[in-house]
A and B are shown apart, each in its own frame.
Chain A
Amino acid sequence: MRKQRALFALVCLLLGAVSAGLLLGQRTREYKSDQFLMDTLVSIRVYGKDADKLREAVAAAYAEMHRIADLADGFPQPGTTAYRISDVCRINEQAGLKPVSADKDVIAMLTLAKKYHSLSEGAFDVTIGPVMDLWGFGRNDPQVPPPGRLGEALALVGSKDLVVNEREQTVFLRKAGMKLDLGAVAKGYATEKAIQALKRHGIEKALIDAGGNIRVLGKSRRDIPWRIGIKDPRKADALTAVLALEDSAAVTSGDYYRYFEAGGKRWHHILDPRTGYPAAENMSVTAVTADAGLADVLSTVFFVLKPEKALELAEKLEGVDLFLVADDGRILHTPGLRGRVEVKAGEGYRHDQGR
């Protein structure tokens, strides 16, 4: 009888302790915040125990993103404060005149851009500005440019005339009329800076969604890899695949998001810098790699290249993976994604398991 009583008391005590532990400890909170920034909606989710610390971390992350956005903004009107604090505006203004001293983050973005300009043999070019202006994406009146004017603008595109001096921290566009467009770099680079800010504030689990550019830190709240869907390029509410990611970025470039219609054709906004026309090899490509800045650049590089070329380049780069839906409906990915991707190819797509 005495033994039984002791056992009973012990069980009660244990149950009490376990339940108290469940209630008091392990209180992982989520803090979520949205901001319109860099021409998109940026959503940051962080997880941790202290609500104040989570808020501070997210504020610091947004501050970093705003700083990069201001440096890289190519759209402000001359004479405004936004124009004066934009390194990109000042570099463009001095094209053909003289080198301009620039922030170390602008130097880093341009160095990255130049590297992938040569690795992709010109399929990626941040000096695409004059051609982008001619098409007018994002304005009220986008249009297919007349071939003559397109030729003139294309003559001003070429990263070999973009001089980045890392020692002097200066940038120079050699020809008058040249123009930088950091649209394919800045958002990813800023996202990576935001992740670094979160880490400095002790955050170990986070997800940043910058208009569909995804960067995750650590594992998800349930301590399993984050599940990141890849949007179906032709069916609005469907997914082509789901990726299982931790400490990684996934950035997609597609032909379906930003476009206009003219002459019975769709014209999307990712231009091949070698032709000046929208790239037509792929419906969508998703670059997967640790750094969000690199993933952003690579998504544009891979989108412009032919599928086989893109896969070949991805396999050559260390720590880089690629998932793509080619223009003819083929779904292909690098071997590195095996076990991390669940393909949900719907009608109209072909997924060859062999690749």
Chain B
Amino acid sequence: MTRADRYLAAGILLIAILSVALFYYRSSLSSGKAASVGAVISAQGKIVRKIDLSPGGGKTTFLVSGRLGPATVEVEGKRVRMVDAPCPERICIKQGWIENPGESIVCVPGETVIHVEGAAPVDAVTR
């Protein structure tokens, strides 16, 4: 084995190891095991806000403009809920707090969605 052979071999080995590592890194990313938990709020088809859900976080409220008018969202630590909305049945408000990855609050008349991101334990929930 000449010196050049050795360099070549080491090079190929390095590339091989790196690409295997990259593959597993990428597939772990795409399976959604992100470290930080957050929620995405969308209204009328657009993402209007992203929020952090961390255990130590304080209480905040803000308005989201839905199709029927402004709705009030409350965040407290790692959970989030809809506290006021101008929809007739108030299904979104009755649902209460959500905090687990994969959970959503959907206000159909207001076309507003709050979705907690991250790896959910199931692919979907029938209700």
Contacts and interface: CB of A to CB of B under 8 A. Distances in A.
B61 interface: no
A156 to B, nearest CB: 25
A139 B90 CA distance: 11
B108 to A, nearest CB: 6
Contacts of B20: 15, 18-19, 22
A211 B88 CA distance: 18
- B interface, over-half SS: mixed
Contacts of A213: 126
Given A36-B108, A213-B126, A23 B99 contact: no
Given A12-B12, A22-B23, A227-B122, A252 B127 contact: yes
A20 B20 CA distance: 8
B123 A228 contact: yes
B95 interface: yes
Band of interface residues on A = 35 or more
B125 interface: yes
A345 interface: no
Nearest to A284: B127
B36 interface: no
Given A229-B124, A239-B122, A251-B126, A260 B106 contact: no
A228 B91 contact: no
B125 A239 contact: yes
Interface of A: 1, 5, 8-9, 12-13, 15-16, 18-20, 22-23, 30, 34-36, 39-41, 137-140, 142, 207, 209, 211-214, 216, 220, 226-231, 236-237, 239, 242-243, 250-252, 254, 257-258, 260, 284, 286
A2 to B, nearest CB: 9
B16 interface: yes
B71 interface: no
Given A5-B1, A237-B100, A19 B19 contact: yes
B96 A229 contact: no
A207 B122 CA distance: 12
B24 to A, nearest CB: 9
A95 B89 CA distance: 30
A16 B100 contact: no
A231 B88 contact: no
